[in-house]
Amino acid sequence: MSEPESAKGPLSGVVVLDLTRALAGPFGTLLLAGLGATVIRLEEPKGDGRESAPFLGKGGASLRRMAPDDVSIAHVIRHRGKQSITLNLKHGDARRIFADLAAHADVVVENYTRGTAERLGVGYSQARAVKPDIIYCSISGFGQEGSVGGGKAMDGIIQALSGIMMTSGAAEDPPVRIGVPFADLGTPLFAVIGIVSALFHHAKTGEGQHIDVSMLGAMTALQAAEPFKVLEDLGVPMRTGNTVPRLSPFGVYPASDGDVVICCSGDLNFHKLMTVMQRPDLEADARYASQTARLENYHSLDLQVAAWTATLPIAEITERLDAAGIAAAEVRNPDQAIRDERVQARGEVVALQHPDHGATQEIYGPGVPIVFSRTTAGLDPKTAKLGQHNLEVYAQMLGYSAEEIERLRSEKAI
Residues 6+ apart with CB under 8 A from 303: none
Q: What is the pLDDT of residues 165-210, one digit of tens each?
A: 999 999 899 999 999 999 999 999 999 999 999 999 999 999 999 9
pTM above 0.85, yes or no: yes
106 & 246 share domain: no
Asked if residue 237 is part of any domain, the answer here is no
Residues 6+ apart with CB under 8 A from 116: 148, 149
278 & 359 share domain: no
Residues of the domain holding 272: 242-331
Has 184 been annotated as catalytic? Answer: yes
pLDDT value of position 3 = 53
259 & 118 share domain: no
Cβ pair 367, 347 in contact under 8 A: yes
pLDDT value of position 2 = 47
* CA separation for the pair 142, 153 (Å, rounded): 8
HSE-CB for 84 with a 13 A CA cutoff? 23
22 & 79 share domain: yes
183 & 276 share domain: no
**By mean pLDDT, which of 7-21, 112-126, 148-162, 361-375 is the weakest?**
148-162
* CA separation for the pair 88, 229 (Å, rounded): 48
Question: pLDDT-derived band of residue 51, with 50, 70 and 90 as boundaries?
Answer: confident
Asked if residue 230 is part of any domain, the answer here is no
Bridge-based pairing of strands 82-86 and 71-72 is: unpaired
Identity at 351, one-letter amino acid code: A
* CA separation for the pair 317, 262 (Å, rounded): 9
pLDDT greater than 80 at residue 249: yes
Residues 6+ apart with CB under 8 A from 391: 405
196 & 257 share domain: no
Q: What is the CATH number of the domain that holds 295?
A: 3.30.1540.10
Question: pLDDT-derived band of residue 7, with 50, 70 and 90 as boundaries?
Answer: low
Residue at which a domain ends, from 306, 331, 356: 331
291 & 386 share domain: no
pLDDT value of position 334 = 96
Q: What is the CATH number of the domain that holds 117?
A: 3.40.50.10540
SS (H, E, C) the chain: CCCCHHHCCCCCCCEEEECCCCCHHHHHHHHHHHCCCEEEEEECCCCCCCCCCCEEECCEEECCCCCCCCEEHHHHHHHECEEEEECCCCCCCHHHHHHHHHHCCCEEEECCCECHHHHHCCCHHHHHHHCCCCEEEEEECCCCCCCCECCCCCHHHHHHHCCHHHCCCECCCCCCCCCCCHHHHHHHHHHHHHHHHHHHHHHHHCCCEEEEEEHHHHHHHHHCCCCHHHHHHCCCCCCECCECHHHCCEEEEEECCEEEEEECCCHHHHHHHHHHHCCHHHHHCHHHCCHHHHHHCHHHHHHHHHHHHCCCCHHHHHHHHHHHCCEEEECCCHHHHHCCHHHHHCCCEEECCECCCECCCCCEEECCCCCCCCCCCCCCCCECCCCCCHHHHHHHHCCCCHHHHHHHHHCCCC
Using a 10 angstrom Cβ sphere, with 0-12 exposed, 13-18 middle and 19 or more buried, the burial of residue 15 is middle
* CA separation for the pair 268, 169 (Å, rounded): 29
Cβ pair 88, 98 in contact under 8 A: no
Q: What is the pLDDT of residues 254-279, one digit of tens each?
A: 999 999 999 999 999 999 999 999 99
pLDDT value of position 1 = 38
Indicate the number of domains in the chain. Answer: 2
320 & 383 share domain: no
180 & 293 share domain: no
Catalytic residue among 184, 267, 322, 380: 184
**Percentage of residues in the chain having pLDDT higher than 70:** 97
Which has the higher per-residue pLDDT, 151 or 39?
39
Q: What is the pLDDT of residues 308-330, one digit of tens each?
A: 999 999 999 999 999 999 999 99
Asked if residue 76 is part of any domain, the answer here is yes
Cβ pair 246, 295 in contact under 8 A: yes
pLDDT greater than 70 at residue 102: yes
16 & 165 share domain: yes
* CA separation for the pair 67, 74 (Å, rounded): 17
Mean pLDDT over the full length of the chain: 94
Sign of the C-alpha dihedral, residues 115, 120, 124, 126?
positive
The residue count of the chain comes to 414
Question: pLDDT-derived band of residue 5, with 50, 70 and 90 as boundaries?
Answer: low
Beta bridge partners of 18: 41, 109
pLDDT greater than 50 at residue 280: yes
324 & 358 share domain: no
Using a 10 angstrom Cβ sphere, with 0-12 exposed, 13-18 middle and 19 or more buried, the burial of residue 28 is buried
Q: Find the radius of gyration of the CA atoms of the chain.
A: 26
Q: What is the arithmetic mean of pLDDT over 32-41?
A: 97
pLDDT greater than 70 at residue 358: yes
Residue at which a domain ends, from 279, 305, 331: 331
Cβ pair 32, 60 in contact under 8 A: no
Asked if residue 319 is part of any domain, the answer here is yes
Peptide bond into 175 cis (omega under 30): no
64 & 10 share domain: yes
Residue at which a domain ends, from 301, 331, 361: 331
pLDDT greater than 90 at residue 48: no
Asked if residue 309 is part of any domain, the answer here is yes
Q: What is the arithmetic mean of pLDDT over 154-161?
A: 95
